[in-house]
Amino acid sequence: MVTASDLAAYERDGYFVARGLFTSDEVQQLGAHYLRMHAREMSEKNASLNDVSQMRDDDPLKVWPRLMMMHRRDDLSMRWLLDARLREFLAALMGGEPFAVQTMHYFKPPGARGQALHQDQYYLRVQPGTCMAAWLALDDCDEDNGCLMVVPGSHTWPLLCLTGADAKQSFTDVTVTLPEGQTASPVRMKAGDTLFFNGQLVHGSEPNRTPDRFRRALIGHYIAGQAEQVYKWYFPVYRMDGTLVDLKESAVGDQCGVWVNRNGQAELEYAHETNNTRIFGPH
């Protein structure tokens, strides 16, 4: 059950961890299932694994790439995406019934790079409203093996413009910048804990610096039930009972912000960004 203090924490910070939402047996079942899927799809060179083609041969992510959109081809993934426990938290935190659009699985083996700071809404382009993630830890995670890092309260910020990321630390090549004095904080989790976070929340992760610990995570992405548009990669859209929703495709390009320092104060300067080109306007 979602309590008033849970809601208050989410509204303050932009995220909330539901401790032990999934049992040890469920976590083991899910972990074993995605190991089998990994072995099968690596042997089949599944199209969803095409993001490994540009990686160096010694990159551990080339052996352990993320799985994408598993629910489109896998019944267990679809059942998890629509799980009643997830729906309860999502509906309470979002203030209404969510729609389901995406599944991902990250293996994050020892030595793997992390992912630079970003906002999920930049990619999903939900209109109106925003998106939300349900991030289930399949392994205990901390700073050593690259737990998620979040910027508490950043869910109140607008979308931030992208800039280049350090490819030695991140497997993605773009990031967002933070205002002076703001830092990301670790979210330490046990296997079975589920992190729910707002699509505007700035988050990412550091590399896995352990010699022998994976940091596996199963992620679902959802959008506000009042949404009318979402970006084209996220169709089909499902209600939580599994029926389809008819939405429109949102356009590429949107207003975004860049943090600047004016008279010792951090302020946002707004731009309109289309195809990675920034056109600055009034602020």
Q: What does the domain layout of the chain look like in residue ranges? A: 4-158+180-252
Tell me the per-residue pLDDT of 33-42, one tens digit each, with 9 for 90 and over: 999 999 999 9
Contact of 266 with 179, CB cutoff 8 Å: yes
Which pLDDT score, from 0 to 100, does residue 273 have? 62
Nearest in space to 132 (alpha carbons), one of 187, 92, 184: 92
Q: Write the DSSP string, the chain.
A: ---HHHHHHHHHHSEEEETT-S-HHHHHHHHHHHHHHHHHHHHHT-GGGGGGTTS-TT-HHHHSPPEE-GGGT-HHHHHHHT-HHHHHHHHHHHTS-EEEEEEEEE---TT--BEEEE-THHHH--BSS-EEEEEEESS-B-TTTT-EEE-TTGGGS-PBPPEE--TTTBSSSEE-PPPTT---EE--B-TT-EEEEETT--EEE-----SS----EEEEEEEETT--EE-GGG-SEEETTS-EE--EEPPS-EEEEEEEEETTEEEEEEEEEETTEEEE---
Which CATH number is correct for 4-158+180-252, 3.40.1550.10, 2.60.120.620, 3.40.47.10, 1.10.3720.10? 2.60.120.620
Question: Dihedral, CA atoms, 73, 103, 168, 163, nearest 10 degrees?
Answer: 120
Tell me the per-residue pLDDT of 120-137, one tens digit each, with 9 for 90 and over: 999 999 999 999 999 999
To the nearest whole percent, how much of the chain has pLDDT over 90?
81
pLDDT category of residue 12 using cuts at 50, 70 and 90:
very high
CA-CA-CA-CA torsion sign (59, 71, 154, 247): positive
Which pLDDT score, from 0 to 100, does residue 281 have? 33
> From the centroid of its chain, how far is CA 252?
19
The better pLDDT of the pair 282, 214 is held by 214
Which pLDDT score, from 0 to 100, does residue 51 have? 62
Which pLDDT score, from 0 to 100, does residue 278 have? 37
User: CA–CA separation, 216 vs 28, rounded Å?
Assistant: 11
Q: What is the mean pLDDT of residues 12-31?
A: 98
Tell me the per-residue pLDDT of 67-87, one tens digit each, with 9 for 90 and over: 999 999 999 999 999 999 999
User: CA–CA separation, 225 vs 222, rounded Å?
Assistant: 9
Which pLDDT score, from 0 to 100, does residue 129 have? 94
Which pLDDT score, from 0 to 100, does residue 50 have? 56
Which pLDDT score, from 0 to 100, does residue 150 have? 98
The better pLDDT of the pair 144, 44 is held by 144
In one-letter notation, the amino acid at residue 21 is L
Q: What is the mean pLDDT of residues 238-251?
A: 96
Tell me the per-residue pLDDT of 260-277, one tens digit each, with 9 for 90 and over: 888 888 888 888 765 444
pTM value is: 0.92
